[in-house]
Structure 1
Amino acid sequence: MYPDRKRIRESRLTVRLDEYEDELLRAMSKYLGEHPSTLLRDLALRQAEELFGVSRDTLQAGSLPHRAA
């Protein structure tokens, strides 16, 4: 049914926010028209991509580039 069963989103993480952080996230999600959890997932993945110096296309291809030391 699925071409790649590893792409099924079954993993779950819990993030605890204080009232100010929650208000900020909800205001941003309302402004962008996104669900807060979708927005938070996208923000986290973008930050991880930036930190590792890869793009989502590279990650989906299944190989990470080797960084020079």
Structure 2
Amino acid sequence: MSSQEVVSPFVKSSFSGGGSANECIEVARTADGGRAVRDSKNRDGGLQFYAPEEWSAFIDGVKAGAFTG
């Protein structure tokens, strides 16, 4: 099994809103516990893969407010 094999359905954030402002990403789990990410408006546009430790660091940054303006 490849570490880049997607093993769960893609899920869109509940914070993505609706209507024309519905710009978001979708995230799925990979075989190694990492994540695959795609654009919800261009699902065939390709995937980005993140190792488990990369995804964990990103989530920690979100929780810490590192990406707020």
- Alignment TM-score, normalising by the size of structure 2: 0.30
Higher strand fraction: Structure 1 or Structure 2?
A: 2
| Structure that is richer in helix per residue | 1
**Bigger relative CO (Cα 8 Å, ≥ 6 apart):** 2
Provide the TM-score with structure 1 as the length reference. Answer: 0.30
